[in-house]
Amino acid sequence: MTGTQNQAGPELTQKLKRVGILSDIHGNLHALNAVLEQLDSDNVDQIICCGDVVGYGALPNECVETLRSRNIPTIAGNHDHAALLMTDISNFNEIAKAAVLWTKKVLTEQNFEYLRQLPLTLRDSTNNSFYVHSSPKEPGEWHYILTMGEARTNFNHFTEQVCFIGHSHQPFIIENEEGNLACPTRPEIELRDGRRYLVNVGSVGQPRDHNPRPCYVVLDYEAKRLEIKRCNYDLAGAQQAIINAGLPRELAERLAHGM
């Protein structure tokens, strides 16, 4: 089982002003490039990826190589492990399974090795933030956090002020003020002392909140502001790449619906 792996990831030690957090790229290079362009013009001094670099999209090698070339700290997602057959895919639907097996076939040896060594979590004590793909409670079990009850339990499994996750492809912010949980619907909030936050940063490459635009988060540590952001990208290009690769057509179609 993946849950028995060492869960301790690397530490970040640099004091940050602005950080951009992205997740669930899923081989969609067109979307990744658009988000990185936005983050560059947004003057972030660090970008961090919460996993699922591959799976579904047609350009997994290019996505891995983009993260590698920019030295973006990245943690492992279930689809990254699935493509390496490091996790059980019997509960994946047929389309997801087909994408996993296609991805496994096309990944270069170097990129395979890169994905294999990704940690399950990233602790940033310097900036008081924690990163995991699925849940801080059991990072390698790939649980979803979909209810306030699950969120409440998971607040007990990180000590930092903010925990960033991905996995469900549905962005949210949950605010915890001494045990009182709230879910602000506005995309931008002020971080307050004495409150803690669980933030799902949404998905770059396959959003599932009925909004097809790539999603990501910017946290400004100096201004103490956190914002869920969206951007435009070459959706038709990403769809065409999926069709050209011979992947299931549904994977191209769903990108247009944000589902």
Q: Is the dihedral of CA 5, 93, 30, 42 positive or negative?
A: negative
Among 12, 24, 81, 215, binds Zn ion (CB under 5 A): 24
Residue 52 interacts with Zn ion (CB under 5 A)? Answer: yes
In the bound state with Zn ion, the residue whose beta carbon lies nearer, of 26 and 196, is: 26
CB of 205 to Zn ion, least distance (A): 8
Stretch that binds Zn ion, among 34-42, 45-53, 103-111, 171-179 (CB under 5 A): 45-53
Stretch that binds Zn ion, among 23-31, 89-97, 149-157, 227-235 (CB under 5 A): 23-31
Q: Which 8-state DSSP code applies to residue 67?
A: H
Counting residues that bind Zn ion (by CB under 5 A) gives 2
Q: Is the dihedral of CA 190, 17, 151, 204 positive or negative?
A: positive
Q: Are 109 and 152 in contact (CB under 8 A)?
A: no
Q: Which 8-state DSSP code applies to residue 216?
A: E
Burial class (CB in 10 A: 0-12, 13-18, 19+), 244: exposed
Q: Among candidates 57, 68, 39, 32, which has minimal Cα distance to 217?
A: 39
- For residue 148 the two structure tokens come to 């306030």
In the bound state with Zn ion, the residue whose beta carbon lies nearer, of 52 and 124, is: 52
Residue 80 interacts with Zn ion (CB under 5 A)? Answer: no
Which residue's CB atom is positioned nearest to Zn ion? 52
Q: Which of residues 169-208 bind Zn ion (CB under 5 A)?
A: none
Stretch that binds Zn ion, among 17-25, 36-44, 151-159, 207-215 (CB under 5 A): 17-25
CB of 214 to Zn ion, least distance (A): 13
The interface mask with Zn ion, positions 135-164, x = CB under 5 A, is: ------------------------------
Give exposure, 34-63, as e/b (b: 16+ Cβ within 10 Å).
bbbebbeeeebebbbbbbbbbbbbbbbbbb
CB of 79 to Zn ion, least distance (A): 6
How far is the first Cα of the chain from the last one, in angstroms, to the nearest whole number?
Answer: 29
In the bound state with Zn ion, the residue whose beta carbon lies nearer, of 191 and 228, is: 228
Contact residues toward Zn ion (CB under 5 A) are 24, 52
